[in-house]
Structure 1
Amino acid sequence: MPEKKAFSWPRLLIGILLLTFVILNLVPSAYYLLEPGPPIKIADLIEVENSSREEDWGNFYLTSVSQKRASLWEVIQFFLIPFDSEKELSPVEEAIPPGISEEQYFELMGQLMQESQIEARAAALTRAGYEVVIESRGVEVVSVFDDSPTRENLKPGDIITRVDDREIEMPTEAVDVISEREIGEKVRLNILRNEELIEKEVETFEYQERPGQASLGIIITSAGLDYEMPPLNIEFEEKDIVGPSAGLMFALEIYNQITEYDLTGGRDIAGSGEIDHRGNISRVAGIDMKIISAERENIGYFVLPEDNRPDIDDGRELDLEIITSESLEKLIEKLDIVRSFRPLHSITGV
């Protein structure tokens, strides 16, 4: 008769611990883990026909915030190591706008990335003297937030063609116009609904993701976008980047490759910002983490929208120079200062 093996409590305990550890790593939490992403060299993403770029030129870098669904173990680690100030946890319900699924949100962010490439190309070509024409029917409402005061007046599928007296063609234009208003101010919208033009008066409010800035509490995308650009082939490499915040750095790299001098002056310049086809630069989120990303790689300069100036952490000394502007034209003028080797100390203004 075979001898029975003695029951081993240590083995059982080890098995339970291993199983628990595996479960904690595999089961997603209700949070996103945010941290600085690695800088991406824009010249590796964009290929311009007959580019003027030389080997000894400097580089523009896109910085971003890495966002992934945190496992239960990563949430536990976050609270066990609270001094890691370079990481943040964001509840899913705060990261994903209400009214759309996680899948729909990332699909929309991918579409906004494609639109940012079009707008960046248009802004750079226009600044370089080319003729560019962009047209659309307006901006389409994808979703209305549950707590938005516009919920009774706007519906998914509505196409906003005008805000007050301003004609709207691209999402960036709508965001710029609304953000200039006071929180609680009423605005007049011209809306195309089921091919019928109607007018609605709505009230702005403060959305939690954009504190201190007026919002309508809606998700929008372009409607019926059409454009004419010069026959200059500009190719974008597919990359795991979503959202419109890469637009500014795309525009700078394209402009640099279609002009005959190096705008960087041989330096490395990182940054982030939205841009429209007219060259207006708009505010983006996650600036502190994006600056940390550039500092890790010893990049000496960082460009960002003028509206983001108040978002910079004043509590620590930065290891790079900050350059802000609200337009591509003014930003290029400031980068010319960098190129000419004159001292540059936090150049700001418009």
Structure 2
Amino acid sequence: MYGAILEGSVLNNVKRIALTAVLLLFAAAALLPLDMYIQKPGGAYELSPLVEVKGGDSDDEGSLSLMTIALSKATPLTYAVSGLMDSRKIMKAGQVRRDGESEEEYNLRQLQLMEDSQINAIYVAYNRAGKPVTLETEGVIVLDVVEGSAADGNLKAGDLITGVEGEPVVSSDGFAEMVASVPTGDSIRLSILRDDEEMEEEISPGTIPGTGGRKGLGVSYAAKRMIETDPEVEIETEDIGGPSAGLMFTLEIMNQLMDEDLTKGYRVAGTGEMNEDGTVGRIGGIDFKVMAADREDIEIFFAPDDEITDEMRERIPGIRSNYETAAETAEKIGTDMKIVPVKTIDDALDYLEALNTKRK
């Protein structure tokens, strides 16, 4: 009898150990982050609550929305599941982050791209609407620092470089020329704003690791611009990053600046980087944005009709324009949503102007 009890007790312990091991393995599969990402459809964000032109028109029947994709760190479990789903894409870290770029630097770059898209959208919208707008450069913001470069230990991501040798930085190209003009072996004095504190750094440009001998500071950067408008406009996007909302920001700002309803009562969404000259730039993940737009009952979707050069085809075999990918995705999922190709903001405005007002 005691032997039977002992045998049962041992068996129960074995079962508990086995169950614990299974649970630990499942937890590791579910929680252990891999150096890979999972991309999937995000959502539609109506822009009227996010964009406010002071005293602007706000009684429109339709809506304009930006589209997002969702990007998350992969785990062994999500990696395995995503490989079986058309609405998921597995991406290597190098497809998301630049070589040597940290998560913090990646997030900073995405937020800076979003800020740039907003500034370009405001500039283009106010120009098209004939409203006063001025654009100035405050300096260049450091996005990342190459390890082992001249800037390593002297500059960090988020630094705003406002001057070089006492001269103001008025453009990113101008900054590059200032640095390039420094004789070999000499140092350069940079005026920096870091965490609201002004400081100066003396740096001698040197060979940048991993660039085949190219000389410089070893930083990537972008122009930090300031825009003033009349009337004032405010945009709140919380933690949404990247440049792809530029086109839709431009349309929403114009819709509030003008008395007429650009949407004609339709639910309109789209994607595309807005350049300062009004052209619409290529973006990533447009197939997932089309899926998300269909799920959100969007009726009209603007897609960049970007030009694919021979060089791009040679470098990326099978590459297609954003519009081609969007149209193919729309056909694949069987949506009634209209996919509209646009090369410029004027293409989108012309399409909306030609629309008949939606019947209620």
TM over 0.5: yes
Q: Contact between 1:127 and 1:329, CA under 8 Å: does it hold in 2?
A: no
1:85 equivalent to 2:86? Answer: yes
- TM-score when scaled to structure 1? 0.71
Pair 275,42 (structure 1): closer, same or farther in 2 beyond 3 Å: same
Task: Specify whether residues 38 and 341 from structure 1 end up closer, same or farther in structure 2 by C-alpha distance, changes over 3 A only.
Answer: closer
* Farther off after superposition, 106-115 or 315-324: 315-324
Match of 2:21 among 16, 20, 35: 16
**What is the rounded CA distance, in whole Å, between the counterparts of 1:225 and 1:50 in structure 2?**
25
- How many Å apart are 1:25 and its aligned residue? 1.8
1:14-93 equivalences in 2 (<5 Å): 14-54=19-59, 57-79=61-83, 82=84, 84-93=85-94
Q: Is contact 1:53–1:262 with CA below 8 Å preserved after alignment?
A: no
Q: Is the Cα contact below 8 Å between 2:105 and 2:143 reproduced in 1?
A: no
Q: How does 1:194-233 map to 2 (within 5 A)?
A: 194=179, 196=181, 221-230=221-230, 232-233=231-232
Whether 1:251 and 2:250 are equivalent positions in the alignment is: yes
Aligned counterparts of 2:226 and 2:299: Cα–Cα separation in 1: 38
Q: CA deviation at 1:71?
A: 1.7
* Pairwise CA distance, 1:190: 9.6
Distance of 1:219 and 1:322 partners within structure 2? 39
TM-score, normalised relative to structure 2: 0.69
* Inter-partner Cα distance in structure 1 for 2:137 and 2:305: 27
Letter in 2 for 1:60: L
Aligned length: 282
32-41 vs 220-229, which deviates more?
220-229
Q: Distance in 1 between matches of 2:266 and 2:224?
A: 40
Q: CA deviation at 1:35?
A: 0.3
Specify the alignment match of 2:205 in structure 1: none
Is residue 100–residue 143 contact of structure 1 (8 Å, CA) maintained in 2? yes
Deviations 1:175-213 (A, max 9, x none): xxxxxxxxxxxxxx9942437389xxxxxxxxxxxxxxx
Q: Distance in 2 between matches of 1:265 and 1:301?
A: 11
The one-letter code matched in structure 1 to 2:264 is G
Alignment match, 1:134: 135
Question: Are residue 119 (structure 1) and residue 123 (structure 2) matched?
Answer: no
Q: Aligned partners of 1:141, 1:105: CA distance in 2, in Å?
A: 12
Cα distance in 1, alignment partners of residues 35 and 258 from structure 2: 48
Matches within 5 A, 1:175-324: 191-194=176-179, 196=181, 221-230=221-230, 232-307=231-306, 308-312=322-326, 314=328, 316=332, 317-324=334-341
- The 1:61–1:107 alpha-carbon spacing in structure 2 relative to 1, beyond 3 Å, is same
C-alpha contact 2:266 2:358 (8 A) present in aligned 1? no
Q: Distance in 2 between matches of 1:319 and 1:50?
A: 36
2:195 alignment counterpart: none
Q: CA deviation at 1:144?
A: 9.8
CA RMSD of aligned residues (A): 3.3
CA gap of 1:227–1:298, structure 2 versus 1, over 3 A, is closer
Q: Going by fraction, where is helix more abundant, 1 or 2?
A: 2
> C-alpha displacement at 1:330, in angstroms?
2.8
Return structure 1 stretches of 4+ with deviation > 4 angstroms. 2-5, 137-145, 218-221, 339-342
CA contact (8 A) 1:264 1:339 kept: no
Corresponding residue SS for 1:112: helix
Alignment CA distance shift 1:169-1:36 (3 Å): farther
**Secondary structure, in 3 states, of the residue corresponding to 2:355?**
helix
Per-residue CA distance 1:154-189 (angstroms, 9 max, x = gap): xx99x9xxxxxxxx968xxx9xxxxxxxxxxxxxx9
Query: 2:282, 2:63 → 1: CA distance?
Result: 22
1:212 aligned residue: none
Shift of 1:27: 1.0
Indicate the SS of the match to 1:37. Answer: strand
Unaligned residue ranges in structure 2 (runs of 5+): 147-156, 162-169, 184-217, 307-321
How far the C-alpha of 1:62 sits from its partner, in A, is 1.0
Identity %: 30
Q: Distance in 2 between matches of 1:26 and 1:221?
A: 34
Question: Are 1:95 and 2:96 an aligned pair?
Answer: yes
In the TM superposition, what is the alpha-carbon distance from 1:221 to its structure 2 partner?
4.5
Deviation at 1:138, TM superposition (A): 8.7
Following superposition, the deviation at residue 250 of structure 1 comes to 0.9
Secondary structure, aligned partner of 2:351: helix
The answer for unaligned runs of 5 or more in structure 1 is 146-155, 160-167, 175-188, 199-217, 343-350
* Deviation for aligned residue 1:116: 1.3
**CA shift at 1:224, angstroms?**
4.9
Q: What's the secondary structure of 1:133's corresponding residue?
A: strand
Partner of 1:328: 345
Q: Which amino acid aligns with 2:25?
A: T
CA offsets, 1:274-304, max 9 Å, x none? 1023322111111111111111122111012
Distance 1:123 1:321, change over 3 A: same
